[in-house]
């Protein structure tokens, strides 16, 4: 056998080995991609199912506590209507109006003069209302309770619900969660009646902000034909210097319909804290 024959055979063997290695790499890559894709799809499906269980579970819990609402609300219907607002859509192109069907699918009548709005006081205001029935925030209603502190979105053409990698509040104007709260807040204000109130933070130099949800949505949607007055409870600590005379409240009065009476009352934080600790203290003694 000549040297040339040996050399050619060795070359063919090396080429065959390289070809086999190449095929193995391709197969491995395809396998990895399939696994990753499968995990991604499975993760998306699990994400949506987990959110459904949370929302429906909250709904069922709320209706058990408010049995009079169970006859006029269906948890699965609410979930399906909720999904229709954002599934398959660009997560930055879900306007507040997309939640109109959801708003209509939830039935709850709140008695006049019980509506309590808030701004920069969420933890305190909910600690106050959790064991009391005299005042009610949006998050204490069925609609707000279902979606409080949750995140959700979808993608264009997708049938899935995602709970991660969704736009944050300020990332884009018409993202799913932001649009929901804008619509729900507007509705809460629209149906308000009688003497309503708001709890604001006296530790801030400007307790009222025209760009907050309270300032830009809720105040502007109070109906003067139904709302008689708005009372601001300015919760202050001993070291706070902000009072009801703060210039920011001039902006509030300007934004408020002139046919709605405006009041402001400074309330010591210690008193609110005491009422949170003792739910038996009447609301009238707290605020």
CATH of the domain at 102: 1.20.82.10
Confidence of residue 39 (pLDDT cuts 50, 70, 90): very low
Q: Where are the alpha helices (DSSP H) in 172-225?
A: 176-190, 213
Contact predicate 103/183, CB 8 Å: yes
Quote the pLDDT of residue 34: 47
Q: Report how far residue 173's alpha carbon sits from residue 182's, in angstroms, rounded to the nearest whole number.
A: 10
Quote the pLDDT of residue 46: 83
Tell whether 1 is covered by a domain: no
> Which DSSP state fits 171?
T
Q: Where are the alpha helices (DSSP H) in the chain?
A: 3-65, 75-84, 100-105, 122-129, 142-147, 176-190, 213, 248-255, 269-277, 283-286
Q: Report how far residue 5's alpha carbon sits from residue 234's, in angstroms, rounded to the nearest whole number.
A: 97
Tell whether 103 is covered by a domain: yes
* Nearest partner of 251 among 287, 214, 202, 226, judged by Cα: 214
Question: Annotated catalytic residue: which of 193, 264, 275, 286?
Answer: 193
Burial class (CB in 10 A: 0-12, 13-18, 19+), 76: exposed
Tell whether 235 is covered by a domain: yes
Which range marks the domain in which residue 24 is found?
A: 7-286
Supply 107's token pair: 């039935």
Give the pLDDT mean for 155-178.
97
Confidence of residue 28 (pLDDT cuts 50, 70, 90): low
pLDDT digits (tens, 9 = 90+) for 63-107: 999 999 999 999 999 999 999 999 999 999 999 999 999 999 999
pLDDT digits (tens, 9 = 90+) for 185-211: 999 999 999 999 999 999 999 999 999
Contact predicate 93/179, CB 8 Å: no
pLDDT digits (tens, 9 = 90+) for 118-129: 999 999 999 999
Quote the pLDDT of residue 104: 97
Q: Report how far residue 128's alpha carbon sits from residue 136's, in angstroms, rounded to the nearest whole number.
A: 10
* Nearest partner of 185 among 227, 135, 224, 147, judged by Cα: 147
Q: Is 75 among the residues known to form the active site? A: no
Q: Is 193 among the residues known to form the active site? A: yes
Confidence of residue 32 (pLDDT cuts 50, 70, 90): very low
Match 């954002």 to its residue by tokens. 86
Question: Annotated catalytic residue: which of 112, 166, 172, 283?
Answer: 112
Whether residue 56 has pLDDT greater than 70: yes
**Domains in the chain, number:** 1
Tell whether 2 is covered by a domain: no
Q: Give this prediction's pTM.
A: 0.84
pLDDT digits (tens, 9 = 90+) for 167-184: 999 999 999 999 999 999
């Amino acid at each position: 056998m000549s040297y040339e024959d040996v050399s050619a055979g060795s070359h063919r063997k090396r080429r065959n080995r390289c070809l086999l290695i190449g095929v193995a790499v391709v197969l491995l890559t395809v396998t990895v991609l399939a696994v990753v894709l499968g995990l991604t799809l499975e993760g998306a499906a699990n994400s949506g199912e987990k959110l459904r269980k949370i929302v429906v579970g909250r709904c069922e819990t709320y209706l058990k506590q408010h049995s009079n609402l169970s006859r006029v609300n269906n948890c699965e219907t609410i979930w399906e209507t909720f999904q229709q607002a954002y599934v398959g859509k660009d997560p930055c192109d879900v306007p507040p109006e997309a939640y109109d069907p959801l708003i209509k699918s939830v039935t709850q009548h709140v008695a006049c003069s019980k509506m309590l709005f808030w701004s920069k006081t969420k933890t305190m205001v909910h600690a106050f209302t959790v064991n009391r029935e005299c005042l009610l925030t949006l998050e204490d209603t069925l609609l707000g309770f279902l979606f409080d502190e949750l995140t959700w979105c979808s993608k264009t053409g997708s049938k899935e619900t995602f709970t991660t990698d969704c736009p944050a509040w300020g990332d884009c104007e018409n993202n799913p969660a932001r649009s929901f709260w804008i619509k729900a807040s507007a509705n809460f204000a629209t149906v308000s009646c009688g003497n309503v109130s708001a709890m604001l933070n006296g530790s801030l130099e400007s307790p009222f902000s025209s760009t907050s949800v309270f300032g830009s949505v809720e105040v502007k949607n109070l109906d003067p034909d139904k709302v008689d007055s708005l009372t601001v409870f300015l919760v202050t600590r001993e070291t706070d210097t902000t009072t009801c005379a703060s210039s920011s409240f001039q902006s509030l009065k300007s934004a408020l319909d002139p046919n709605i009476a405006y009041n402001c009352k400074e309330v010591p934080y210690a008193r609110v804290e005491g009422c949170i600790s003792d739910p038996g203290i009447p609301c009238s003694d707290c605020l």
